[in-house]
Amino acid sequence: MIIGINASFARKSSTGIGQVTLNFIQKLGQFQNFDFVLYLEEDIDLKLPANVSKRIFLPFWKRDDLIRKIWWEKFLLPKKVAKDKCDLLVSLYQSATIISDGTKHIMVVHDIIPKLFSEYANNSRKKLYWNLTEKAIGRADKIVANSHRTEKDLIQHLGIDPKKITVSYVDVDEIYKREVSDEKTREIMGKYGLNPGYIYTGGGLDKRKNTEKLVRAYKILQERNGKEQFIRELPELVVSGKLLPELEPLILDIEKLVRELNLSRHVRILGLVPQEDLPAIYANALIFVYPSIYEGFGLPVLEALNQGTPVITSKTSSLPEVGGDSVLYCDPKDIGDLAMTIKNALINKKLRTTLAVRGKERASNFSSEKFAEKIMNLANERNI
DSSP string spanning 226-288?
HHH-SSSSPPPEEEES---GGGTTTB--HHHHHHHTT-TTTEEEEESPPGGGHHHHHHTEEEE
Q: Are 286 and 194 in contact (CB under 8 A)?
A: no
DSSP annotation of 91 reads: E
Nearest to 105 by CA among 73, 148, 131: 73
pTM summary value: 0.95
For 236, 292, 300, the CA distances from 39, given in Å and listed in that order, are: 44, 32, 27
Distance CA 134, CA 119 (A): 17
- CB count within 10 Å of CB 350 equals 7
Distance CA 341, CA 37 (A): 48
Q: Are 235 and 200 in contact (CB under 8 A)?
A: no
For 86, 145, 189, 295, 311, the CA distances from 315, given in Å and listed in that order, are: 42, 20, 31, 11, 12
Q: What are phi and psi of 365, to 5 degrees?
A: -80, -15
Instruction: Give the angle 8-13-15 at the CA atoms, nearest 5°.
Output: 90
Q: What is the pLDDT of residue 183?
A: 97
Q: Which strands, in side-by-side order, build the sheet including 311-314?
A: 267-271, 237-240, 198-201, 285-290, 311-314, 328-330
The CATH code that applies to domain 174-363 is 3.40.50.2000
Report the SS3 class of residue 210: coil
Q: Which helix (H) or strand (E) element contains residue 89?
A: strand 88-91
Q: Which residues contact 202 (CB under 8 A, 6 or more apart)?
A: 239, 240, 241, 273, 278, 281, 288, 300
Length of the chain measured in residues: 384
Distance CA 232, CA 220 (A): 16
Segment-wise mean pLDDT, segments of 10 residues, the chain, 384 residues:
96 92 95 96 92 95 93 97 96 96 95 94 94 98 98 98 97 96 97 98 95 98 94 96 90 97 97 96 98 97 98 97 98 97 97 98 97 94 75
Q: Which helix (H) or strand (E) element contains residue 289?
A: strand 285-290
Q: Which CATH class is domain 2-171+367-380?
A: alpha beta
Domain boundaries, the chain: 2-171+367-380, 174-363
Q: Assign residue 312 a region: left if phi > 0, alpha if psi is -120 to 50, beta otherwise?
A: beta
Distance CA 75, CA 69 (A): 10
Strand runs labelled E in 94-197: 104-109, 142-145, 165-167
Distance CA 375, CA 144 (A): 8
Distance CA 197, CA 287 (A): 8
Q: What are phi and psi of 310, to 5 degrees?
A: -60, 140
Spell out a b/e string for 280-309, using b for 16 or more CB atoms within 10 Å of the CB, else e: bbbbbbbbbbbbbbbbbbbbbbbbbbbbbb
Tell me whether residue 246 is exposed, middle or buried, using C-beta atoms within 10 angstroms of its C-beta: 0 to 12, 13 to 18, 19 or more. Answer: exposed
Strands 35-40 and 198-201, by their bridges, are unpaired
Q: Which residues contact 216 (CB under 8 A, 6 or more apart)?
A: 261, 335
Q: What is the pLDDT of residue 101?
A: 81
